[in-house]
Amino acid sequence: MTAVTSGRHPYLDHPSTIPFAHRGGAADGLENTATAFRRAAGLGYRYFETDVHATADGRLVAFHDPTLDRVTDSRGRIAELPWSEVRRARVAGSEPLPLFEELLEEFPDARWNVDIKAEPALAPLVELIRRTDAWDRVCVGSFSEARVARAHRLAGPRLATSYGVRGVLALRLRSYGIPAALRAGAVCAQVPETQSGIRVVDRRFVRTAHARGLQVHVWTVNEPERMAALLDLGVDGIMTDHIETLRTVLSERGAWA
């Protein structure tokens, strides 16, 4: 089975199931670095997933964690450090942290799924999208439904957004026939397969999303059998750390575009 919704926003203009390189393809330990995104682009990926934090002086860094501690040779909270210090950190001891603006410039044909990790990054991200006219290239998401809703209000209808946790819960309830309010304006639901042991993505959920014109993107899927099962359900996108594996699975189905 293939995805059944083409999407109403230009960001979703893709002829088949969308393969997302999660953090550029995090399996090699160079997550959210220009090197990782270059490798994904070299494999034919067009959609990248990343995260953003704002430094103390308002620079927008593509990085997942609130602190530098886990994956770099530096320490400290990004929000409390100026860019002049953050830029000296090295992922895996060798790769610098990129500014999101640099990634938009280096990969002009790429589309970005951006998770706003903290409130201070919201306004700088919207302003960057507006300044670079990247409306068709960026989809904004967050675990916080309120944060995504604020981004949508600030940017207007040209901004593609996904649902946060509260929106996904409402969509799940609706799939069981239980009334639940849903924010207008989202173009997709980006979800894990399961949450706290409860199944999120099944045929009922995908059907309900598609009936509302929403795409379903699932994260983070690294095993080929799980990828195949989700494709059989008709999901519209898969985010993976193992970018070669997903390319192989989609190619075997004639769905690698």
Tens-digit pLDDT profile for residues 141-163:
999 999 999 999 999 999 999 99
Q: What is the mean pLDDT of residues 177-199?
A: 94
Task: Report whether 53 contacts 63 (CB < 8 A).
Answer: yes
Q: Is the pLDDT of residue 3 over 60?
A: no
Q: Is the pLDDT of residue 126 over 60?
A: yes
196 confidence band (pLDDT: 50, 70, 90): confident
Q: Is the pLDDT of residue 257 over 90?
A: no
Catalytic (active site) residue 210: no
Distance CA(245)–CA(222), nearest Å, equals 7
In tens, the pLDDT along 19-76 reads 999 999 999 999 999 999 999 999 999 999 999 999 999 999 999 999 999 999 999 9
Q: Is the pLDDT of residue 4 over 80?
A: no
Per DSSP, which regions of 71-137 are E strands? Answer: 90-91, 95-96, 111-116
Instruction: State residue 58 phi and psi, 5-degree precision.
Output: 85, 15
Q: What is the mean pLDDT of residues 81-102?
A: 98
Residue 6 has a pLDDT of 47
Residue 8 has a pLDDT of 79
Catalytic (active site) residue 242: no
Which member of 14, 22, 53, 152 is catalytic? 22
Residue 80 has a pLDDT of 98
The pLDDT mean for the chain works out to 96
Distance CA(54)–CA(33), nearest Å, equals 16
Residue 198 has a pLDDT of 87
Q: What amino acid is encoded at 52 in this protein?
A: V
Residue 1 has a pLDDT of 45
Out of 3.40.50.720, 3.90.440.10, 3.20.20.190, 3.40.1160.10, which CATH number does the structure's domain 10-252 have? 3.20.20.190
Q: Is the pLDDT of residue 2 over 50?
A: no
Per DSSP, which regions of the chain are E strands? Answer: 18-22, 47-54, 60-62, 90-91, 95-96, 111-116, 138-141, 160-161, 188-192, 194-195, 198-199, 215-219, 237-240
Residue 51 has a pLDDT of 98
Instruction: State residue 112 phi and psi, 5-degree precision.
Output: -120, 130
Higher confidence at residue 7 or residue 53? 53
